[in-house]
Amino acid sequence: MSALSGSNLPTTVAMTTIVLLIKCQDQAGIVQAVSAAVYRHGGNIISLDQYSTALEGGQYFMRLAFAVQDWAQQGAAFCDDFAQNVAQTYATDWQVFDSRQRKRMAILVSKADHALLDLLWRWQRGQLACEIACVVSNHDHLRRAVENFGVPFHVVPVHGADKAASEAALQALVADCDLLVLARYMQILSADFVANWSMKIINIHHSFLPAFVGANPYQQAYDKGVKLIGATAHYVTADLDQGPIIEQDVLRVGHRHSVAELRALGQDVERNVLTRAVRWHLDNRVIVAGNKTVVFS
């Protein structure tokens, strides 16, 4: 038996994974229509998650991932086909993502380093599918820690009367980013700034929202004598700590814990919650519906 010559070996064709996020009124035929569009362009569905609120008003949500050859050529044709034959027919809000194109992320931080360092460490290990463009702080305290990861560090001081100038400087630094992460950034962003980044800013708040909004939530929790503390990752809106919640977690505590102990225990929860929320956003697993989210985790 002769060995196969090089010219007879099977050719491996690179496949691209594409993710579709869809939101519309629940209605018959939507899954078939989406699947047919993928099929028409040579796609092979590799995962499909869906959720319906049919009993509460009838909204439908889908995350579909499919593999396809030659997306550079197929992409525009697929999007035109989908817009005409699916989106218009079923009145869908939809987004399409090429998994090869990683989002650019900037991290904003003040002095606390626990959430920041967890993100940087996981990014360095390849656990976050993104490029970290820079870290921006209103203090210089964390410069060395950040630069040790090879990430640019910028200081933008914030002083009351000059807040507009500070935000203009911040905007200039992050203008080419797709996501801003507030890793315990202890400044309130203006409504005008937030409006330019709709559902593209994720904050970690160190309480189990809606409890203990605003400053010093661990002190508030201590004063209230709670038996659970928690953390909440949410999208930032003009209303303080009121944006759509992406992820939460809690930890049992007791009357023996001081405020300092609550803070130390809570920091582990904060960093884990923030990292999960950021990862899900980067992996295109979050659909915003009003002031809620559907997370296909």
Q: Do 274 and 202 belong together in one domain?
A: yes
Choosing from 118, 178, 241, 283, the catalytic residue is: 241
Q: Do 40 and 127 belong together in one domain?
A: no
Q: Do 136 and 280 belong together in one domain?
A: yes
Averaged pLDDT, 49-74:
92
Q: Do 177 and 282 belong together in one domain?
A: yes
Averaged pLDDT, 39-45:
97
pTM assigned to the model = 0.93
Averaged pLDDT, 118-122:
98
pLDDT band at 193 (very low <50, low <70, confident <90, very high): very high
Told to judge if 98 belongs to the known catalytic residues of this protein, a careful annotator would answer no
Q: Which of 81, 98, 115 is the last residue of a domain?
A: 98
Q: What is the CATH number of the domain that holds 76?
A: 3.30.70.260
Output the CA–CA distances (angstroms, integers) from residue 166 to 110, 111, 215, 286, in the order listed.
Answer: 14, 17, 21, 30
Is there a domain that residue 10 lies in? no
Provide the total of helices (H) and of strands (E) in the chain, helices listed first: 9, 13
Is there a domain that residue 7 lies in? no
Q: What is the DSSP string of 223-262?
A: HHT-SEEEEEEEE--SSTT-SPEEEEEEEE--TT--HHHH
Q: Do 110 and 185 belong together in one domain?
A: yes
Q: Could you report the per-residue pLDDT of 228-281, keeping only the tens digit for each?
A: 999 999 999 999 999 999 999 999 999 999 999 999 999 999 999 999 999 999
Residue 82 clears pLDDT 70, i.e. is over it: yes
The CB-side HSE value for 166 (13 A sphere, CA atoms) comes to 17
For residue 223, the enclosing domain spans: 103-295
Q: Do 124 and 253 belong together in one domain?
A: yes
The two structure tokens encoding residue 4: 């196969």
pLDDT band at 161 (very low <50, low <70, confident <90, very high): confident
In the chain, how many domains are there? Answer: 2
Separation of first and last alpha carbons in the chain: 50
Residue 199 makes CB contacts below 8 A (sequence gap 6+) with 235, 244, 288
The continuous run of DSSP H or E covering 218 comes out as: helix 217-224
pLDDT band at 2 (very low <50, low <70, confident <90, very high): very low
Is there a domain that residue 2 lies in? no
Least trusted range by pLDDT, from 29-43, 154-168, 243-257: 154-168
Q: What is the CATH number of the domain that holds 291?
A: 3.40.50.170
The mean of the pLDDT values for the chain is 94
DSSP H helices in 46-196: 71-82, 88-90, 114-124, 143-147, 163-174, 191-195
Is there a domain that residue 6 lies in? no
Report the share of the chain in percent with pLDDT over 70.
Answer: 95
Q: Do 67 and 120 belong together in one domain?
A: no
Q: Do 235 and 152 belong together in one domain?
A: yes
Q: Do 164 and 248 belong together in one domain?
A: yes
d(CA 91, CA 59): 12
Q: Do 256 and 291 belong together in one domain?
A: yes
Q: Do 70 and 146 belong together in one domain?
A: no
What phi and psi values does residue 88 have, to the nearest 5 degrees?
-70, -40
What's the pLDDT score for residue 1? 42
Q: Which of 59, 83, 98 is the last residue of a domain?
A: 98
Q: What is the DSSP string of 55-84?
A: GGT-EEEEEEEEEEE-HHHHHHHHHHHHII
Fill in the DSSP letter of residue 273: H
Q: Do 152 and 252 belong together in one domain?
A: yes
Q: Which of 98, 123, 140 is the last residue of a domain?
A: 98
Is there a domain that residue 150 lies in? yes
